[in-house]
Homo-oligomer: A and B are copies of this chain.
Amino acid sequence: MPATLPPGLSAAAFSQALAGFRQAVGKTYVYADETALSSYLDPYSTTEDAAHTPAAAVAPHSVEEIQAVLKVAREYGIPLWPVSTGKNYAYGGPAPRKSGYVVLDLARMNRIIEVNARDGYAVVEPGVSYFDLYRYLKEHDIPLWIDCAAPGWGSVLGNLLDHGAGYTPYGEHLTMQCGMQVVLADGTVVDTATGALPGARASQLYKWGAGPWIDGLFTQSGLGIVTRLGVWLMPEPPGYRPFMVTFPDEDALHDLTEAIRPLKLNMVIPNGATSVELLWEAATRVTKAQYYGGKGPLPPSVRRKLMADLDIGAWNFYAALYGPPPMIERSWSVVRDALGKVKGARFYTDRPGDTAWEYRAKLMRGIPNMTEYSLMNWIGSGAHIDFSPMSAPTGDDAVRLYHLIKDKVEARGFDYIGEFLIGWRDQHHIFMLIFDRTDPQERERAHQVFGEIVADAAAQGFGEYRTHLDFMDQIAATYDWNDHALRRLNERVRDALDPGGIMAPGKMGVWPRRMRA
């Protein structure tokens, strides 16, 4: 099929733009032919590839090249979609918001600019994945940990810009960000916060700098190409103890959540703790087909068999303790008392040969791995998109949310695969809608049901912290207090920083004027 053109551009103009891109980064790093572009599609979306096919991809490897690319983009009004390692699977992967964008692939910028063992921070370029940073700390024997998302190939920078989270005490990635270097649409390079002071001694140390703190502006927006990021790394603690608590009954969820909240509030449990539902826990070790031949949700009898075979619960709680061993002992006894009160609690501090336990124990100490991807095998050619609402860390909210989703998706023949990630004062709920992408109807149904879940959840006050490309407008539309005041504010800031509408237009439902519906 003929190549996809950027919106509103003729083939002739586009080929000139391509020449401009080639001149900017060299012809080897401009991908415009079909085969090369296939690696920029989203294998997991509920819509046609045609909805998110880039017109081209450009891989710069320096700030100067980014500026040259931006110049071409400004000149031809070509929307860019920046990605770092481009592994944002479940939220669109490396695919652009709409077809015809040019994906700005920053993976070649993969230098670890600096790791400061003394003050415990790293400065990284977009292409640095968790694997890279981890390996670097090991090779140089630096006593610092990283905090990583489940997929270790994720980008430290990219994940953080998308408000990603991890499982160590440094799990809230944006909180641990300190200073960034960002390239604006007009090519200006800005070092934010203290970085704006030449030779600043406190750079990467003091978060706010002087004047308004604007780093947040460049997260989940694409209003600037972030080329460097300061991130605090956790000093290796003297001791570490991961643990797991399983609960056999489906409705232990309420009491479990109530018991956890104070432990988080008082920081007895300092890390991103998770309550994992049965199927999610099982799907990393077995496939659906091994236990059940039909379509649609598992009957209860099959669920019980799963629990027995794998020795897991309807809910499986994971967390860890850090610090000097004596302090760990003390916190451990507080944890046993608190969670022991929940019906059927069984405690584990080790589970040899259990790949699920192993990858979690790694995640909670910042060792990157890819095990969580085996969830995909739950069903053949499984694709998934994530629904991740936020709620208060209460039992009621947990149960309400759980049923709202479970009932709706099972009614449509989908499994409920989810977990609760309990933060300091909030709790994320992560629901993976796994569907067979090769089946157009099923894909279309997945698309439908996801939209409805979003609407129902919002109606009940459950908003998402991030979402898949296809649902960004819908999500943005749910944050409509005072006649979309927030979105109009975001549109205003966007129009100021990206008057040409070339910077990830439509990211999180914020569009430039010329594309505003």
Contacts and interface: CB of A to CB of B under 8 A. Distances in A.
Interface in A410-447: 423, 425-427
A217 B211 CA distance: 9
B199 A210 contact: no
A322 to B, nearest CB: 10
Interface stretch (A23-31, A249-257, A481-489): A481-489
Given A221-B212, A235-B265, A495-B496, A201 B466 contact: no
A85 to B, nearest CB: 21
A476 B220 contact: no
Contacts of A210: 220, 463-467, 475-476, 479, 508
A202 B496 contact: no
Contact of A205 (B200, B390, B495): B390
Interface in A198-223: 198-202, 204-221, 223
Interface in A462-502: 462-467, 475-476, 478-482, 485-490, 492-493, 495-497
A248 interface: no
Contacts of A426: 202, 205-206
Nearest to A509: B211
Residue of A172, A175, A208, A465 with most chain B CB atoms under a 10 A cut-off = A208
A356 B490 CA distance: 47
A286 interface: no
Contact of A496 (B465, B466, B493): B493
A208 to B, nearest CB: 5
Looking at A204, A213, A480, A493, the one whose CB has the most chain B CB atoms below 10 A away is A213
Contacts of A330: 324, 326-327
Interface stretch (A69-77, A184-192, A302-310, A342-350): A184-192
A211 B476 contact: yes
A191 B493 contact: no
Interface stretch (A134-142, A273-281, A391-399): A391-399
Contact of A492 (B175, B195, B489, B496): B496
A476 B464 CA distance: 37
Nearest to A425: B205
A196 interface: yes
Given A175-B175, A330-B326, A208 B465 contact: yes
A380 interface: no
A84 to B, nearest CB: 17
Interface string A151-190: 0000000000001000000001011001000001000111
A97 B206 CA distance: 26
B482 A190 contact: yes
B202 A480 contact: no
Contact of A215 (B202, B216, B467, B475): B216
A40 interface: no
Contacts of A481: 191, 195-198
A33 interface: no
A318 interface: no
Contact of A217 (B191, B196, B213): B213
Contact of A221 (B211, B391, B462): B211
Q: Which of A190, A330, A391 has the most CB of B within 10 A?
A: A190
A266 interface: yes
A388 to B, nearest CB: 10
A510 interface: yes
A237 to B, nearest CB: 8
Nearest to A199: B461
A459 to B, nearest CB: 8
Contacts of A508: 210-212
A119 interface: yes
Nearest to A119: B425
A197 B461 contact: yes
B191 A482 contact: yes
A189 B482 contact: yes
Of A191, A197, A461, most buried by chain B (CB within 10 Å of CB) is A197
13 contacts: A119-B265, A121-B425, A188-B488, A190-B485, A198-B481, A202-B426, A211-B479, A212-B219, A212-B221, A214-B493, A216-B216, A217-B493, A493-B497
Interface of A: 118-121, 163, 172, 174-175, 178, 184, 188-192, 194-202, 204-221, 223, 232, 235, 237, 261, 265-266, 324, 326-327, 330, 390-394, 397, 423, 425-427, 458, 460-467, 475-476, 478-482, 485-490, 492-493, 495-497, 508-510
Closest 3 pairs between A and B when the two form their complex, measured CB to CB:
A213-B216, A496-B496, A196-B479
